[in-house]
Structures are given as C-alpha cells and as structure tokens.
C-alpha cells in the first residue's frame, strides 16, 4: 500500500507548494550554515569556509529541481503549465482563436445536437427494469409476405400457458375513448392490457395498485390505471381519486392506481397527458373479439427468463406455435414465431436510418471543420517556427514540444466544445419544437449525461485530429536550421505545402459529398411536395366525430348516426359538399385487408393478396375529386339490404384484371363489423396516395359506409368558408343529433399533408443547413490557404510585376492555384458521393442517387464559392507594390 501513501503525499505536496518551498529553503540554508560553521571551527578563512560548504553540498538548484519533481505530480504540473501557456498563446492570436473556436463550435455543436437525438431514440436505456430482457413476440409468414402480425387473445393465453422461456407475458392493444364528467369531454389514449402488463415491464404504481389477475376475468368490475400526466392535468393530482370512479365512453370505471411520472410505454404513439390503461376484456372495442380465436388484434410482450436468449425463446415458441396453429391459423402454412427487442417496437425500424444519415452529415461537417483548423494551425506553426527552434535549442525534446502543442490543441478543442455544447443545447430545444409529434421518444431528446461525454470525447478526438499534423511539423528537429536563417521569414518546406493542399482538397471533397447528399434530399423532398396525391387537398376540410362505444355499440347505430349527421350538415349551403370516409386519407393509420378474386387465377399456396381499404359515403369521390374511370359511383341505394358492392382503384384493376373488364367481377373480403362476403365490382376510380405521399399508390378497395360501417365519423368538406366557421357549423349540426359528441381534429387537408411531411421536411432542412455549413467552411479553407500562399509569394509577384506582368496575369495565377485545389476536391467529392449514394437511395423519393441536376449544379456552386473565396486574396496580390515587395527581402 506504500504507493497510495506516496500519491497522497505527492498530492499534498502539489497543493501546499508555497509553504513547502519556503520550508525547503530554510532547511537547506540551515544545512549550509552548519557546514560553514564547522569549516570555520576547523580554522578556514570565512570565504573559503563558505566556498567549501557549497562545494560539499553540491548543486543547490539542481537538487531543488529534483526535490520538486519528487514532491508533486510533475506530469500534472507540466500539463497545467502547458494549459496556461496554451491559453496565453490563444489570447495572443485572438483572430485565429476566434475563427478556430467558432469553426469547432459549429462542428461539435451540430454533432452534439444530432447525437442527442440518436441517443434518446436509439441508445438511451428504456425506463423499464432490465429492458434488455423485454421482447415483443409476434407471428410472421414469409411465404405470405407477412413480416409480423398481431395474435388473437386466446392464442396469447395459450402461449402464456405453454412456454417455459418467459418469466411473464402480457398482451396489449390501443385506441381512444371519450373521458367525460369532471370538466370538458376529452379523448384519451387507452392502453388495453392484460393484468401482467405492469409487472412484465417491472414498474410499480405510484399510488394504489396495478391490475390483478381477477381484473382479466370477463364480468369483472371495470377498473382503470391512470398515467401520472393525466392524473395531474385532469384531476389536479388528487390522491383521493384512487377508489373513486371516472367515465369512459359513459361507462363507469373505478380508478385503482396511478403510474409514476417517468412511466411511458409508447408502442403506439400517444400524446402526453392523456394516457390511461384498462384490462382488455373491459374495453368496448377490443374486449368482445378477445373471445374469438381468429381475431388477431393483440400485441404480445414478454420478459425473457434470465439466461434465455432470444434464439432459444424463438425455438421454444415455434414448437408451441406448431401445436396451436391448426386452431388459430386454420388452413395457412408457413407461420413462424419471432421475437424482437422492445426498443425496435417502441422506436420503429425506420427511425434509425434518417438519424444515421444526419449523424453522417454532421460527422462530415466536423471533419471539414477539423481540416480547416488544422490548416490554420499549420500556418501558425510556420510563423511560430522560431519559437520552437529556440525551445529545442534550450533542450526541449521533440516529445515535449509535441505534448505542449497537443495540449494547446486540446485547449482549443475544449473551448470549441464549450461553445458547441451551448449551441447544441439551444439547437436541441429548437429541434424538439420542430419535431413532428409522432417522432418516437421526441420528448426525451436533451443534452445530458452521455451526450456531454460524447461531446467531450469528440472534441478531444478532434483536437488530436487537427492538432497532430501541425504539431509533428512544428516539432520537426530539422527546424533548428530556422534559427540560422537571417530573414524574419522562416522557410516553408515542400512537405508542409503538400499537407496544406491535401487538407484543403480533402475539405472540398468532403463538402462536395455532403452537398450532393443534401442536394439529393432537397430534390427528393421537392418531388414529394409536388407529387399528385390523386385527390384534392385544397379547400378540403376534415373533421372527426368521436362516438361513445357503449352507447353506440351496434354497427347499425353508426350508420344511422352518420347518415343523419351527414344529411343535416349537407343542408348547410356552404357545407353541401361534405362526404364521409374512414380511415381518413393520410391522417389515419391505413387499413390493409387480404382479399381474393372469385373465379380468379389460383394463387401460389401460402400467398395472399391485399389492398388498402376505405369505407365511404356515395359522394366521397366527387367531393375530393377522385375520377371515375369505369362503371358507376356508389348511390344511396347501396344499403345493407341491397347487393354488396365495391369500387376498386385503377392499380387493383391493372394488377388483377389485366385482360378482363373488372366490372361485374366479384371479390371476397371482410372487416370487423362486415363479415366476409362476396362483393361485386361496380366501378374503377383513379389511384391515390392515401396511405402516405411517399408510398406509390397500391391497390385499393372502397365500400359503401352503409354496407360496411366503421365506428366513428370521418368528414371531408369542400368549403370556401374559414376552418373555424365550418367547424362551428359542423359541431352545431352534429349536436342536433347528439349534444354530447365532441367534434375533433378540424384541419385543412393541406395541413394534414404538411404534418405528414414533418419528419422529411425537418430532415431536409437540417441536411440543407449542414450542406451550407460545409460550403462555408470549405470556402473559408480555400480562402485561408490562398491568402497564405499569396502572402508567401509577395516577393515572387513583385518580381513578376517588375518584369512586366499585369494585374490580370497575377489574378489569373492565384485563381488558377485555387481552381486546381477546388477541382481536385470536387472530383474526389463526386466520386465519394456516388459511392455513398447507394445506401441512402432507399430514403430518396422521386429522384435517383445519380440525379444529373444535383451532380451538375452543386459542383458548379462549390467551385464558384471556392473561386470567390480565392478572389479576395488574389485581388490583394495584384496590389503588390513591386518595389516594396523587393525591398522587404
């Protein structure tokens, strides 16, 4: 343990330096005095006595130095000294320092901001105990092209009973209900769960209890667990709420518990402040189908037993599944059971790719920033060459000079990081405001713990990156010859110029690659913006009416209500063009249904064909301007008692009736309230991008609402009045039918489309911003190198001008140098961009990775910027006074 004592003693020595130093001097003086006195006693002359004493004692200063090194922590002291020296150097070159710090702050700040998003979405531990053990369990059928699907409730219960690999399992589903009483009616997000849900996630309620197994029994008393936010915002955090009851869709539920604030389970995107959980069996929508073995509506969550891998779990579940499929997937072959980490389920697969594109982009920005600073440092190292030569002459080793220079770089890097983190903090706050609400875990994006560590490591790494090459050159022992040079201008070797040029070419190349990438995404977004959705969005207002499920439990009630409401709304002159559609285009989650063709060509076994599904009022196509291509629209005569009809999209007709007239053919499909049955095709309409603008139109099926109602009312209105006026009129008409129903989500369709593009827009803006940053940094790099080159060639220009060269010739000479560097960078950058284009091409819409416009315009822009940046120093070169230039030599 001696070494611990030594370190403690050394640290004390470091801290108490002053007192210890005085003590040492006193002790040594005393020693020498005693020596002198002894010598005097021996009869030496006073001078001799002192001289002999000093000789006997040896070199005092040398000894003190040794003593000091022994006393403290010399490494640390040197470091502190270097840091102090570094600060002094940076202060002395305020201009250089400012430019370097700003450059680094931009690079580090952008990286920190984007990394904070990556961290929150992809890396931050989920707020559940041992989140690594949590998996989603789902069925897939590769042969049928089904990547993952929900299971039925009874099937889930069998999984739960028969497996030995999970310590607990829970089933979940989600939708919305109306919360009434105690204030305005509001729509809440309902998590339908089995009683094991909270214990699977390993989270205990803040107040009251979680669900019990008894709550899962059909006929049990209705109970509800509230989220902390809902409890606070709606019920003023009233602790006595537990035990009392609240109304969901006008049915009374007893509040049994409140979850803690941090608990959030965003499987299905939910707004903050309106989440609660009820047992599946008590839900008006998902409760009844829970008893039916073929209603595959539920998502299974499970916690792996300790020591069980996902592969082991999948293997076991496969044997369980093989036993169960005859009952739950009759007739189908090729089913497998898979597991996936809950994180993927929470964030979605497609969240990571765009984030990584952004991270790569900011990474490039930082690299460019580093190259820039490295170039600045190189120039400065040249002008400081004498300083290093003197240091080396005084005995500083190469390593010592290197260490000092790298310390200076680190100081610079950390200053940049400090400012960068401030920028990132500010940027992230702006960023989360811009994020669409559907962005996974957007609320947890912040500059915190690991993000700060990332920023610091990044800045130190960057310091090494930009500091090493200049430091190596500065510490070059050959520089000693500098001292011998008579002129005040130490020479710059060929090596060094090559490095400077290499750096600036790299910089331009990186900027080029990034610009092309940004350009592609901008073009992609532009084509997304201008894509024809296949239906009108201008002057189309949408609104939803939320129906209480317990009151409106029968599909026929939905039809009656919506017919009556629609009729009353249409009686208003400026709302005459009002139609009904569910699910609503773009705004709602789409419904994709399997279907089959009567007397159609046989499908390969195990393959199903699907189409997007919507149920509409007869006038829907006219209201939103979807053209009729063949046959007829629906009419008021297409009701529940008349023959069942369907209208298909042009894409469906093209795919499945390539050589036949689809009119009069029959399809078989069904959905919830509308059990499977044959429907005759009566019309073909134009294709739409109703699922998402970025999705090419797929096959689509439309059925009359009267024949296949869905719960709820989705309204679209072509109107010239204002949104608020129309909303009031709609609400008034709806309330004539039922005064308790809230009219929600009143929005222009253009806004809906806009919102749906939120993520793509943000990504495009950010990439554009980073592209511009890269462009500016690269131009600054060219400016720096050319300025430097011009200042070094003043003498040469003087001679040239003395020999008769005109200003234009000098200008051309300088610009040619800049052009050479820029073009080299641009060519390399294009090559890099083409190489990188393949992985991002799947994120592009309507533009190819080799888009000629991008590949021609942006290189021109960058080259232009480079020439512009070189023009300023070039102009300076033409103003060289030949006489003055020659005299300075």
Partner 1 sequence: MTGGKEDILRGTLDLLVLKTLETLGPLHGYGIARRIEQVSEQLLHLNQGTLYPALLRLEQRGWISSKWGTSDNNRRARYYSLTKSGKKQLAREAESWERMVGVIARLLQGEAIIG
What separation in angstroms does the CA of 615 have from each of 143, 711, 804? 29, 11, 85
Nearest to 686 by CA among 650, 725, 653: 650
Considering only 26-34, 252-260, 635-643, 839-847, which stretch makes contact with partner 1 by CB under 8 A? 26-34
Least gap, CB of 77 to partner 1 (angstroms):
16
Q: How far is the CB of 69 from partner 1 (least distance, A)?
A: 8
Identify which of residues 38 and 332 has a Cβ nearer to partner 1 in the complex: 38
Q: Does 25 bind partner 1 (CB under 8 A)?
A: no
β 609-616/578-582 pair status: antiparallel
Reply yes or no: is the peptide bond before residue 583 cis, omega within 30 of 0. Answer: yes
Does 30 interact with partner 1 (rule: CB under 8 A)?
Answer: yes
User: Which of 17, 21, 24, 654 is in the footprint of partner 1 by CB under 8 A?
Assistant: 24
Q: Work out whether 37 is an interface residue with partner 1 (CB under 8 A).
A: yes
Minimal distance, residue 24 CB to partner 1, in Å: 7
Q: Does 292 bind partner 1 (CB under 8 A)?
A: no
Smallest gap from residue 396 Cβ to partner 1 (A) = 23
- Sign of the CA dihedral with 637 first, then 714, 700, and 532 last: positive
Separation CA 605–CA 332 (nearest Å)? 9
* 168 close to 326: Cβ distance less than 8 angstroms: no
Strands of 74-165 (E only): list them. Answer: 134-141, 146-149, 151-152
Stretch that binds partner 1, among 32-40, 81-89, 138-146, 202-210 (CB under 8 A): 32-40
Q: Which stretch binds partner 1 (CB under 8 A): 4-12, 81-89, 566-574, 664-672?
A: 4-12
The neighbouring-strand residues paired with 667 are 597, 679
Of the ranges 24-32, 82-90, 281-289, 867-875, which one interacts with partner 1 (CB under 8 A)? 24-32
802 CB-near residues (< 8 Å, 6+ apart): 882, 883, 886
Q: Does 19 bind partner 1 (CB under 8 A)?
A: no
Q: Are 307 and 133 in contact (CB under 8 A)?
A: no
Using the rule CB under 8 A, give the single segment among 31-39, 292-300, 312-320, 818-826 that binds partner 1: 31-39
Of 430, 421, 425, 418, give the one whose Cα is nearest residue 446: 425
Q: Say if CB 562 and CB 580 are below 8 A apart.
A: yes
Does 9 bind partner 1 (CB under 8 A)? Our answer is yes
Nearest one of 738, 749, 691, 671 to 178, comparing CA atoms = 738
| First-residue to last-residue Cα distance in the chain | 65
Closer residue to partner 1 in complex, CB, 35/713: 35
Which region among 25-33, 548-556, 597-605, 627-635 touches partner 1 (by CB under 8 A)? 25-33
Q: What minimum distance in Å lies between the beta carbon of 55 and partner 1? A: 9
- When asked if residue 46 is in the footprint of partner 1 (CB under 8 A), the reply is no
Q: Are 351 and 121 in contact (CB under 8 A)?
A: yes
SS3 content of the chain, % helix, strand, coil (to 5): 55, 15, 25
Binding test (CB under 8 A) with partner 1, winner from 28, 73, 99, 168? 28
SS3 call for 397? coil
Report if residue 2 touches partner 1, rule: CB under 8 A. Answer: yes
Q: 495: which 2 tokens?
A: 């090596």
Peptide linkage before 383 cis (omega within 30 of 0) = no
Which DSSP letter does residue 150 get? -
Binding mask 525-564 for partner 1 (x = CB under 8 A): ----------------------------------------
Question: What's the closest the beta carbon of residue 400 comes to partner 1, in angstroms?
Answer: 22
Q: Which is nearer to partner 1, 77 or 577 (CB)?
A: 77
Taking the least distance from each CB to partner 1, the nearer of 26 and 661 is 26
Which of 23, 244, 318, 556 is close enough to bind partner 1 by CB under 8 A? 23
User: Of the ranges 28-36, 301-309, 353-361, 776-784, which one interacts with partner 1 (CB under 8 A)?
Assistant: 28-36
Task: Kindly identify the residues of this chain, within the stretch 50-109, that bind partner 1 according to CB under 8 A.
Answer: 56-60, 62-63, 66-67, 70-71
Shorter beta-carbon distance to partner 1: residue 51 or 356: 51
Backbone angles phi, psi at 168, to 5 degrees: -160, 155
Cα distance between residue 1 and residue 6, in whole Å: 9
Instruction: Please give the full DSSP string across 749-785, using - where no structure is assigned.
Output: HHHHHHHHTHHHHHHHHHHHHHHHHHHHHHHHHHHHH
Sequence-ordered list of residues with C-beta below 8 angstroms from that of 206, at least 6 positions apart, any chain: 228, 257, 258, 259, 260, 261
Q: Is 450 in the site for partner 1 (CB under 8 A)?
A: no
- Nearer of residues 5 and 478 to partner 1, judged by Cβ: 5
Q: Which of 5, 538, 838, 879 binds partner 1 (CB under 8 A)?
A: 5
**Between the CA atoms of 722, 725, 731 and 736, what dihedral angle is there, to the nearest 10 degrees?**
-130
Closest CB 456 distance from partner 1, rounded Å: 33
Identity of the residue, 27 or 184, whose beta carbon is nearer to partner 1 in the bound complex: 27
Assess contact for 217 and 303: CB atoms under 8 A: no
HSE toward the beta carbon, residue 682, CA cutoff 13 A: 15
CB of 54 to partner 1, least distance (A): 10
Cβ proximity to partner 1: between 36 and 179 the closer is: 36
CB of 18 to partner 1, least distance (A): 17
Nearer to partner 1, 33 or 350 (CB): 33
Under the criterion CB under 8 A, does residue 11 sit at the interface with partner 1? no
> Closest separation between CB of residue 9 and partner 1, Å?
4
- Could you tell me how many residues of this chain bind partner 1 (CB under 8 A)? 28
- Choice between 7 and 123, CB closer to partner 1: 7
Q: Which stretch binds partner 1 (CB under 8 A): 21-29, 241-249, 388-396, 641-649?
A: 21-29
What's the gap between Cα 605 and its chain centre? 41
Residue 6 found at the interface with partner 1 (CB under 8 A): yes
Tell me if 35 contacts partner 1 by CB under 8 A: yes
Residues 268-287 that bind partner 1 (CB under 8 A): none
Exactly one of 22, 26, 74, 80 binds partner 1 (CB under 8 A); that residue is: 26
Nearest distance, CB of residue 3 and partner 1, angstroms:
9
- In whole angstroms, the minimum distance from the beta carbon of 22 to partner 1 comes to 12
Which of 105, 104, 108 lies closest to 376, judged by CA? 104
What six digits make up the tokens of 341?
A: 């980490």
744 scored as a contact of partner 1 (CB under 8 A): no
Reported as type and span, the H/E element at residue 606 is: none
Structure token pair of residue 201? 């996630």
Residue 237 and residue 165 in contact, taking contact as beta carbons nearer than 8 Å: no
Q: Which 3 state secondary structure label does DSSP give 531?
A: coil
With CB under 8 A as the contact rule, the residue among 27, 311, 641, 808 that binds partner 1 is 27
Closer residue to partner 1 (CB): 23 or 318? 23
Among 15, 33, 353, 639, binds partner 1 (CB under 8 A): 33
Decide whether 28 or 830 has the Cβ nearer to partner 1. Answer: 28
Residues in the chain: 889
The span from the CA of 580 to the CA of 592, in Å, is: 19
Query: For residue 411, is it left (φ>0), alpha (ψ between -120 and 50) or beta?
Result: alpha
Pick 26 or 443: Cβ nearer partner 1: 26
Residue numbers at the binding site for partner 1 (CB under 8 A)? 2, 5-6, 9-10, 23-24, 26-28, 30-31, 33-35, 37-38, 56-60, 62-63, 66-67, 70-71
């Amino acid at each position: 343990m001696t070494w611990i004592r030594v370190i403690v003693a050394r640290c004390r020595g470091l801290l108490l330096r002053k007192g210890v130093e005085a003590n040492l001097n006193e002790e040594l003086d005393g020693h020498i005095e005693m020596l002198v006195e002894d010598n005097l006693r021996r009869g030496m002359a006073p001078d001799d006595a002192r001289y002999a004493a000093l000789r006997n004692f040896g070199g005092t200063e040398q000894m003190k130095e040794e003593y000091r090194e022994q006393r403290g922590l010399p490494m640390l002291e040197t470091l502190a000294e270097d840091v102090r020296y570094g600060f002094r150097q940076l202060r002395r070159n305020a201009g250089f320092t400012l430019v370097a710090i700003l450059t680094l702050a931009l690079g580090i700040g952008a990286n920190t901001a984007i990394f904070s998003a990556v961290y929150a979405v992809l890396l931050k531990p989920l707020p559940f105990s041992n989140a690594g053990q949590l998996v989603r369990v789902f069925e897939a059928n590769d042969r049928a092209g089904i990547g993952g699907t929900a299971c039925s409730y009874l099937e889930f219960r069998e999984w739960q009973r028969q497996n030995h690999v999970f310590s607990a399992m829970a089933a979940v589903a989600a939708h919305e209900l109306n919360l009434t009483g105690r204030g305005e009616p509001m729509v809440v997000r309902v998590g339908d769960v089995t009683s094991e849900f909270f214990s699977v996630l390993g989270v205990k309620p803040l107040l009251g209890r979680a669900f019990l197994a008894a709550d899962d029994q059909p006929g049990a008393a209705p109970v509800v667990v509230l989220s902390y936010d809902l409890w606070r915002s709606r019920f003023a955090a009233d602790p006595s709420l537990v035990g009392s009851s609240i109304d969901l869709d006008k049915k009374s539920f007893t509040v049994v518990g409140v979850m803690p604030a941090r608990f959030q389970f965003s499987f299905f995107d939910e707004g903050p402040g309106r989440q609660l959980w009820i047992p599946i069996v008590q839900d008006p929508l998902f409760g009844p189908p829970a008893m039916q073995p073929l209603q595959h509506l539920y998502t299974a969550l499970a916690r792996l037993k300790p020591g069980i891998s996902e592969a082991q779990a999948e293997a076991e579940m496969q044997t369980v599944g093989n036993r169960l499929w005859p009952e739950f997937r009759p007739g189908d072959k090729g089913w497998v059971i898979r597991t996936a980490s809950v994180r993927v389920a929470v964030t979605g697969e497609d969240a990571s790719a765009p984030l990584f594109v952004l991270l790569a982009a900011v990474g490039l920005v930082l690299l460019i920033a580093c190259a820039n600073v490295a170039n600045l440092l190189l120039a400065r190292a040249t002008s400081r060459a004498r300083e290093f030569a003197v240091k080396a002459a005084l005995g500083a080793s190469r390593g010592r000079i290197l260490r000092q220079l790298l310390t200076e770089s680190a100081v610079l890097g950390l200053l940049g990081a400090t400012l960068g983190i401030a920028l990132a903090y500010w940027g992230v706050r702006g960023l989360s405001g811009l994020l669409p609400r559907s962005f996974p875990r957007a609320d947890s994006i912040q500059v915190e713990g690991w993000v700060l560590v990332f920023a610091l490591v990044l800045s130190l790494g960057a310091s090494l990156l930009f500091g090493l090459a200049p430091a190596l050159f500065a510490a070059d022992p050959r520089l000693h010859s500098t001292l011998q040079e008579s002129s005040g201008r130490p020479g710059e070797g060929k090596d060094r110029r090559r490095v400077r040029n290499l750096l600036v070419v790299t910089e331009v190349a990186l900027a080029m690659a990034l610009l092309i990438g940004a350009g592609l995404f901008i073009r992609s977004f532009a084509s997304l913006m201008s894509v024809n959705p296949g239906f009108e969005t201008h002057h189309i207002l949408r609104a939803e009416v939320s129906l209480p499920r317990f009151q409106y439990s029968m599909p026929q009630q939905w039809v009656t209500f919506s017919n009556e409401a629609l009729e009353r709304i249409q009686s208003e002159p400026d709302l005459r063009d009002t139609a009904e559609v569910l699910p609503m285009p773009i705004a709602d989650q789409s419904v994709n249904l399997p279907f089959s063709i009567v007397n159609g060509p046989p499908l390969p076994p195990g393959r199903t064909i699907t189409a997007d599904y919507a149920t509409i009022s007869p006038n829907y196509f006219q209201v939103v301007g979807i053209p009729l291509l063949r046959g007829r629209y629906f009419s008021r005569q297409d009701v529940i008692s008349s023959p069942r009809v369907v209208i298909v999209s042009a894409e469906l007709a093209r795919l499945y009736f390539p050589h036949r007239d689809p009119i009069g053919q029959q399809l078989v499909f069904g959905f919830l309230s509308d059990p499977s049955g044959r429907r005759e095709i009566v019309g073909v309409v134009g294709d739409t991008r109703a699922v998402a603008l970025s999705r090419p139109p797929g096959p689509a099926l439309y059925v009359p609402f009267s024949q296949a109602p869905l719960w709820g009312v989705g309204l679209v209105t072509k109107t010239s009045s204002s949104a608020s006026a129309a909303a009031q009129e709609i609400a008034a008409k709806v309330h004539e039918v039922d005064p308790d129903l809230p009219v929600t989500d009143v929005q222009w369709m253009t806004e809906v489309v806009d919102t749906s593009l939120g993520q793509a827009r943000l990504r495009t803006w950010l990439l554009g911003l980073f592209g511009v940053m890269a462009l500016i940094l690269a131009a600054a790099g060219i400016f720096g190198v050319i300025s430097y080159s011009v200042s070094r060639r003043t003498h040469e220009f003087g001679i040239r001008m003395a020999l008769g060269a005109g200003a234009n010739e000098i200008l051309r000479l300088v610009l040619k140098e800049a052009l050479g560097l820029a073009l080299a960078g641009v060519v390399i950058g294009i090559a890099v961009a083409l190489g990188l284009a393949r992985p991002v091409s799947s994120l592009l819409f309507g533009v190819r990775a080799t888009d000629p416009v991008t590949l021609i315009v942006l290189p021109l822009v960058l080259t232009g910027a480079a020439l512009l940046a070189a023009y300023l120093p070039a102009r300076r070169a033409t103003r060289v006074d030949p006489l003055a230039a020659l005299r300075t030599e």
